[in-house]
Chain A
Amino acid sequence: MKIDKILSGCGVGWRPQLAMHIERRSDLKFIEVLADNHFMETIGHPAIETLQKRGIKIALHAVGLSLGGSSLPDCAYIDNLNRLIDLYGAVCISEHLAFVRGGGLESGHLLPVKRDEHTLKVVVENINFASQRLNAPLVLENIASYLTWPDETMDEAEFLSRVLAETDCRLLLDISNLYTNSINLGFSPDEFLDRLPLSKVAYMHIAGGEKRKGIYHDTHAHALGEAVLDLLSTALSKGCSEAVLLERDDLFPDLSEFNQEMDRISRALSSRSFANV
């Protein structure tokens, strides 16, 4: 199943704390439901179903498939995702290019893979394994990480491009993760974008962050910064998908601040649309 143009416009990561703000946003085109928070549901969440009835599309987002792990993805976890895909009629399912466990321990966080030829082979097999079993198209997200493996033979742009070339997956380009890595690891995000197959971007994430002790943290708890919004505009001008989703996971804003955030994304998308005319 292709997801070309299935997602477009403004989206937001659905969180119960934001449900009322989201409900009031009239220009919303899609939401993302964090699968791991909904595994206990046997019937759809009423607030999400209300949005669905308005024609708002639903993308599922996962954090536990561990596509970058040494083992094939867990079939029980995939079954849980499929149950939610079917429950909400999700148009796609996104997951990170990362691993989350090792040696029987769950890290509780996304960890970067060692970027080399060997890992590439395993990651491609893992992704194909998951793609074949998921009931919706799988979209891969780039992660934020200030941890790098010793003896890596590829940088992130090359690794991502190779994975996208060797699988049928499309990319969820997280602008804030890209910005975070560019600051913490010291590379040009513009050049990074130029090296990616941007026609494969299905949609983008954007979120706020802050710098602490010289490290930029993608907190999902702060307002969008100008630099991140500029990078979003750059990505749009280079031809990335015109579907952008706001992620907010903490220090939840009041309605006015939430609308300001969404308006800023909407303006970036409008500028892009005018530029195309």
Chain B
Amino acid sequence: MSELAAIRKKMAEEQADLVALLLAAEKPDTSFDRRQIELYSNTLKKKRLKALKSAWPVFNQIDRHEAMEAYLVRRPSTPKYHHGLLDGRLFLRFLADREELGAELRQHLIDFDRRYRLSGRRLMPRERFEQHFYEWCLIWSRRKLR
């Protein structure tokens, strides 16, 4: 292993430890300043929820605070692309899994899925014909939205 590869390997471990520490609900002992870690951790959480609510204003009206907290524990990693937008979609799926979606959010989910599809880790807008196709599938299959 080259010198730089060895440095990268060590760096990867250190950065992974820091990210895990910041995203963990319970903070283990660390050589970092504990207050700094707590502050940064809160900032990450607030920023993520703000981005989610900004992309999905419906969550400003419908209080799902407790479910959001559970969602962050279940899925500590922010989506790589389209942070708030995709995060909101994943949160809806989380609610659907818990059977806590409700009629209004279910409609938001349908509207969103009609307009976008997931390609790899990126959202892609659906073409108009795809939107119609999605609607037909929805009507005919009456599938459970996931």
Contacts and interface: CB of A to CB of B under 8 A. Distances in A.
Contacts of B31: 150
B32 A147 contact: yes
Contacts of B79: 106
Contacts of B39: 146-147, 215
Contacts of A114: 11, 14
Interface in B1-46: 4, 7-12, 14-20, 22-23, 31-33, 36-37, 39-40, 43-44
Given A39-B82, A109-B47, A147-B36, A104 B15 contact: no
Given A109-B44, A146-B36, A146-B40, A122 B11 contact: yes
Interface residues of B, number: 41
B58 interface: no
Given A106-B78, A108-B83, A147-B32, A122 B8 contact: yes
A103 interface: yes
Given A70-B12, A106-B80, A118-B10, A147 B40 contact: yes
A105 B20 contact: yes
A137 interface: no
Contact of B19 (A107, A118, A125, A250): A107
A182 B9 CA distance: 32
A103 B32 contact: no
B32 A150 contact: yes
A103 B19 CA distance: 8
Contact of B12 (A36, A71, A107, A108): A71
28 contacts: A40-B124, A64-B80, A69-B15, A71-B8, A71-B12, A102-B12, A102-B16, A102-B18, A102-B19, A102-B20, A103-B20, A104-B16, A104-B77, A105-B19, A105-B23, A106-B77, A107-B22, A107-B23, A109-B40, A109-B47, A111-B18, A118-B10, A118-B11, A125-B4, A147-B33, A147-B36, A147-B37, A150-B32
Given A107-B23, A147-B37, 4 more contacts: A102-B18, A109-B44, A111-B22, A119-B7
